[in-house]
Structure 1
């Protein structure tokens, strides 16, 4: 009958989750087995369950997974905000921003509490996975202010890659912009990486702002503001 969907027009639940969140197919299976997924209000325990993405309601951790309209946002995270929807004590977090709190989209580009700058959000799981795959080596650009100038030897050392407290950091690119001001481009995103690199040279990071992820920049955003990504920005990252 016309207008009636068959099983062939539907999609398996684990594939649906992997396509519409930041979860891999394996992690989607784990979420289902852990009873974190609801289909039309009912807890689902089988990844092989089929979903009609046009009509069914799927929730992960009590968050609705949007499918009809893909959204892509750049956000300027202010300093003193956790990159998390979960609050820790009195600290501000992503849930303090209405646009994020309503839908809690997946994100890429975690920044530590005292760092600021660009984070990308989307309900397109494929897009988020592209950003997070280490082998894609999508560059991330930062504006970094230090308490002392890095020497030429410091810069050369960091650009070649270092090991600090047992963690290996890949080669990077560093340009001195002014007194104690640098542009640093990384091709990975390890926890507190730039701060650790600067510490390795005996200096301290006074301010750290991520200004760019791949082709996407902050442009004229102010702290706490959002903008939609352009079609060209979305396509360039999707085609990596």
Structure 2
């Protein structure tokens, strides 16, 4: 018997965090009653999410995707810009985390809810690398402050790796995943992001994958992603 959110995530419908939100909003039924977070289930139970009966997949699938600017990572079929209109896979997969609509680059798509949970959980500090173009020349002070941590709103970002690539382009490697984090860090220091591209998630690299294309992951890459 496992927690119902973990079961839903294991079905490939969504991440465990998203499953928790569905349960909290009353969109999940367990054996003809509204489910609660503490419910534990097995394959003998009937779990229905928004009218869809949940069945664990026979196998998990993993893809890397080069997201273009203008594509929204929210899986909303009613949104013409949603990523669901850009991907065509034999089984339903969902994005691991988000890449904002104005950014482009590497995304991981899967129906493995447990891997999604591990990659998104802040306790694991998984690296994500980005190439950032800003609106004016970089200074040594800017690069130093970005690497030590930037305060904006009521948060201070963790220290990170920052490396200058050119006059106004730098690479940054984060272990956090806060909403629009890089853009807000730059804004707090008086810079505006012109272009933002994700290059890497842990050991998975974008490489030369064409824009708006999917590529299945080989087993060795999947195993590397599953490493702690």
TM-score normalized by structure 1?
Answer: 0.80
Tell me how far 1:159 sits from its aligned partner.
Answer: 0.5
Q: Which runs of 5+ in 2 are unaligned?
A: none
Q: Residue 130 of structure 1 aligns with which residue?
A: 118
Judge conservation of contact 2:75–2:94 (CA < 8 Å) in 1: no
- CA–CA distance in 1 between the matches of 2:192 and 2:140? 16
Which of 76, 82, 92 does residue 81 from structure 2 map onto? 92
Quote the RMSD (CA, aligned, Å).
2.9
Deviations 1:147-182 (A, max 9, x none): 112200111111111211222211111111112111
- CA–CA distance in 1 between the matches of 2:58 and 2:46? 11
Is 1:152 the equivalent of 2:140?
A: yes
Q: Residue 219 of structure 1 aligns with which residue?
A: 207
Q: Residue 194 of structure 1 aligns with which residue?
A: 182
- CA–CA distance in 2 between the matches of 1:76 and 1:62? 32
Q: Residue 5 of structure 1 aligns with which residue?
A: none
- CA–CA distance in 2 between the matches of 1:223 and 1:186? 23
Tell me how far 1:25 sits from its aligned partner.
Answer: 11
Deviations 1:27-57 (A, max 9, x none): 28x629924357xxx75545445315xxx98
Closer, same or farther: CA 194–51 of 1 in aligned 2, 3 Å: same
| Secondary structure in structure 2 of the residue aligned to 1:141 | strand
Which of 144, 154, 158 does residue 170 from structure 1 map onto? 158
Deviations 1:182-213 (A, max 9, x none): 11111111111111111122111110000110
Which structure is larger by alpha-carbon Rg, 1 or 2? Answer: 1
Which of 130, 134, 141 does residue 142 from structure 1 map onto? 130
- CA–CA distance in 1 between the matches of 2:110 and 2:169? 32
Closer, same or farther: CA 97–149 of 1 in aligned 2, 3 Å: same
Tell me how far 1:106 sits from its aligned partner.
Answer: 3.1
- CA–CA distance in 1 between the matches of 2:18 and 2:180? 28
- CA–CA distance in 2 between the matches of 1:213 and 1:147? 26
Is 1:34 the equivalent of 2:34?
A: no
Is 1:112 the equivalent of 2:100?
A: yes
Which of 25, 31, 43 does residue 51 from structure 1 map onto? 43
Give aligned pairs, total.
221
Is 1:22 the equivalent of 2:15?
A: yes
Judge conservation of contact 2:125–2:175 (CA < 8 Å) in 1: yes
- CA–CA distance in 2 between the matches of 1:81 and 1:155? 29
Tell me how far 1:93 sits from its aligned partner.
Answer: 1.2
